Amino acid sequence: MTPQPPQSPRFACATDENDNLRGYLLAAAATTPHAPALVERTAEAGLRTWSYAELERLVDDYVGALDELGLDVGDRVVVQSNHCSAAVAVLLACATLGLPFIPVSPDMPGERLALIVDSARPALFLQYGEGMRDGLPATVGTGRFGDAGLIVERAPRTGPRVRAGVTPTDPVYIIFTSGTTGRPKGVVMTHRGVLAFLRGVRRLGFVAPGDRVATTSPLQFDFSLVDTGMALGCGATIVPVPREELGWPRRFLEFLAEAEVSQVHGVPSIWRPVLRTAAADLARMRSLRRIVFSGEDFPLPELRRLSELLPQVQVVNGYGATESMAASLTAVPNPVPGTLDRLSIGRAHPGAEMTLIDDAGLPVTEPGVTGQIYLRSPALFSGYWNDPAATAAALVPDPFAPASGQIVFRTGDLAYRGPEGELYFCGRADSQVQVRGNRVELGEIERRLQQHEGVASAVVTLDEQAGAEPVLSAFLVRKDGAAGESATAAGLRSFCAESLPSYMLPQSIHFVDEIPLTGNGKADRRALLAGIPR
């Protein structure tokens, strides 16, 4: 049976519905309409399963409500919600009509939201359920969606429609990154880019139709879109984990067991509280087969422990940036070999390639030599929203054939090759800092500290106080029990001195109960520095 085109007349302008995110993710509504698309916890009725056919109906309801507003292809819609059926349906309704969506979380601080609204100039702000957001400019239309459908409260301002329909090169969403690099940037992704990524990773076979994929990242972090795309694009089931359960390891695991989740996607930090207080409960995770992590390095001591407790589970290292959804997905051996001291990020997913370039702009081909990762891929973003200078710095002419006009992504990430050509991530180009004239890679110091038997996790950062010499500061979480007690500042300094040159030794060492996290669940270096008593 061939999939039926959705009802919107404007959508019908697209050349092939599978070139639209909506068509691709709901393809199973035509072939296996009763298969479960989404399982979620509801307030009243425990778990609720949405079939592909039901999810498609909800999308079409929302398409109907949005299509009446007179918006044109390219008009932006901010969608504020946690991950749930209604949110997925709104995002796919926006995709259907060519309205680029900007997902934001309900707990996003008002100031940050104001910056995003000011920059993206959306036509419409849609929020899930009750609650109010103050301070939206009067030029922005407002509405709500949820059990009662999609209701527009303040109509958006519109002009004459100039576009006839959605094309695959139109933007599908804009993600404002948390800005590891300091400044929030709006990463613009096209339908074509996202679908090239999803088709590429589908060939890796990490999700199959019977799978139930738990997603734990907030909607504003594109990792949640990767999860949703991987699950629905394979005809599998997406299972949003309620945000409030993540802070309670036992409840988190109970939810995973109740929803019969077969794989969990999330940043490494979601496993930290589980390992601390509910490690024994992992034995009961019988349906769990795979864990996909992404966003930052998984500290090896924690990864080893997790793999030991879940011998039947395959851990997959997802490496990449919002600018291409992800670049590679690489299985980690279980058990983790004792000799392994760094995780591989493997090779780019099918359809893409990562190459290394040195400071002089020359290709690095020798194993062991560090270079910057340049990514060529059909899944690249089209640019940073309203920021041509940042776009030109990241999307650059192919260094191997500049005359060809091909554009590649200069990732800002450093890596070297192993003997088989596989890559090893070793930090950001901008985390290479200068200490008294020496080039220092902060990740090297973190890795050494994590090799100490008493250290559970370590973050190193350069503390640059005005007027003072920059200081290398290490923040450490001790392991519980006797092993942890063996970690002392003096002991750790001499442990580092056994393998690192003197200019790489952390000058100040701080023990903390836990590493603070950004809204996306990555280590928050700025918060760590702010916590130092001055």
Buried b (16+ CB within 10 A) or exposed e, 284-305: ebeebbbbbbbbbbbbbbbbbb
* CB 521, min distance to ligand ADP, A: 10
422: contact with ligand ADP by CB under 6 A: no
**Least distance CB 145 / ligand ADP (angstroms):** 26
Query: 75 and 215 in contact (C-beta within 8 Å)?
Result: no
Least distance in angstroms from the C-beta of 423 to ligand ADP: 11
Among 145, 381, 425, 475, binds ligand ADP (CB under 6 A): 425
The residue (of 14 and 321) whose beta carbon lies closer to ligand ADP is 321
317 binds ligand ADP (CB under 6 A): yes
DSSP-assigned states of every residue in 273-322? HHHHH-GGGGGG-TT--EEEEESSPPPHHHHHHHHHH-TTPEEEEEE--G
What is the chain's alpha carbon radius of gyration, rounded to the nearest angstrom? 23
Compute the least distance from the CB of residue 450 to ligand ADP, in Å.
14
How near is the Cβ of 314 to ligand ADP at its closest, in Å? 15
| Token representation of residue 495 | 């442990």
Query: Residue 37 in contact with residue 51, Cβ under 8 Å?
Result: yes
> 101 or 384, CB closer to ligand ADP?
384
> Would you state the structure tokens that stand for residue 524, as one six-digit string?
């928050």
Closest distance of CB 184 from ligand ADP, Å: 8
Q: How far apart are CA 223 and CA 482, in angstroms?
A: 37
Is residue 296 a contact point for ligand ADP (CB under 6 A)? Answer: yes
Contact segment (CB under 6 A) with ligand ADP among 8-16, 105-113, 320-328, 396-404 equals 320-328
CA 199 distance to own-chain centroid: 18
Q: Which is nearer to ligand ADP, 211 or 297 (CB)?
A: 297
By CB under 6 A, how many residues form the interface with ligand ADP? 21
Cis amide leading into 299 (omega within 30):
no
Least distance CB 516 / ligand ADP (angstroms): 15
Q: Which helix (H) or strand (E) holds 511?
A: strand 508-511
- C-beta of 240 vs 318, nearer to ligand ADP: 318
Does 321 bind ligand ADP (CB under 6 A)? Our answer is yes
DSSP code, position 532: S
Q: How far is the CB of 343 from ligand ADP (least distance, A)?
A: 7
Cα-based distances in Å from 112 to 101, 106, 198, 524: 17, 12, 30, 17
Asked if residues 435 and 375 have their Cβ atoms less than 8 Å apart, the reply is no
| 322 lies in the binding site for ligand ADP (CB under 6 A) | yes
**Looking only at residues 402 through 421 of this chain, which bind ligand ADP when binding is defined by CB under 6 A?**
411, 413
Residues 501-530 touching ligand ADP, rule: CB under 6 A, are 520, 522
Cα separation, 443 vs 440, in Å, equals 9
Q: Which residues have CB under 8 Å from 48's CB, separation 6+?
A: 39, 40, 41, 42, 85
Question: Using CB under 6 A, which of the segments 237-245, 317-325, 452-460, 475-483 binds ligand ADP?
Answer: 317-325
Name the residue nearer to ligand ADP (CB basis): 357 or 509: 357
Range 120-149, binding ligand ADP (CB under 6 A): none
Estimate the crossing angle of helix 300-309 against helix 442-450, to 10 degrees. Answer: 50
Strand residues in 203-251 grouped as ranges (E): 212-215, 237-240
When asked if residue 318 is in the footprint of ligand ADP (CB under 6 A), the reply is: yes
Q: Which two three-digit tokens encode residue 317?
A: 């290292």
Near ligand ADP in 173-202, by CB under 6 A: 177-181
By CB under 6 A, tell whether 297 contacts ligand ADP.
yes
- Cβ of residue 321: shortest distance to ligand ADP, in angstroms? 4
Residue 370 carries which side chain, given as an amino acid letter? T
Q: For the CB of residue 170, give the shortest distance to ligand ADP in the complex, in Å.
A: 22
Among 154, 289, 410, 428, binds ligand ADP (CB under 6 A): 428
Name the nearest CA neighbour of 478 among 450, 500, 499, 498.
Answer: 450
Identify the burial level of 186 via C-beta atoms within 10 angstroms of its C-beta, where 0-12 means exposed, 13-18 middle and 19 or more buried: buried
Q: Of 266-295, which residues contact ligand ADP (CB under 6 A)?
A: 294-295
| Site map 4..43 versus ligand ADP, x via CB under 6 A | ----------------------------------------
Instruction: Please report how close the Cβ of residue 298 comes to ligand ADP at its closest, in angstroms.
Output: 7
Nearer to ligand ADP, 23 or 318 (CB): 318
Q: Which residues contact 229 (CB under 8 A, 6 or more apart)?
A: 21, 25, 194, 197, 198, 325
331 CB contacts (<8 Å, ≥6 apart)?
A: 314, 315, 316, 317
String of contacts with ligand ADP for each residue 453-492, x by CB under 6 A: ----------------------------------------
CB of 43 to ligand ADP, least distance (A): 31
The nearer residue to ligand ADP, 346 or 454, going by C-beta atoms, is 346
Q: Are 66 and 97 in contact (CB under 8 A)?
A: yes
Q: What's the closest the beta carbon of residue 112 comes to ligand ADP, in angstroms? A: 12
Stretch that binds ligand ADP, among 283-291, 313-321, 495-503, 506-514 (CB under 6 A): 313-321
Residues that bind ligand ADP (CB under 6 A): 177-181, 294-297, 317-322, 411, 413, 425, 428, 520, 522
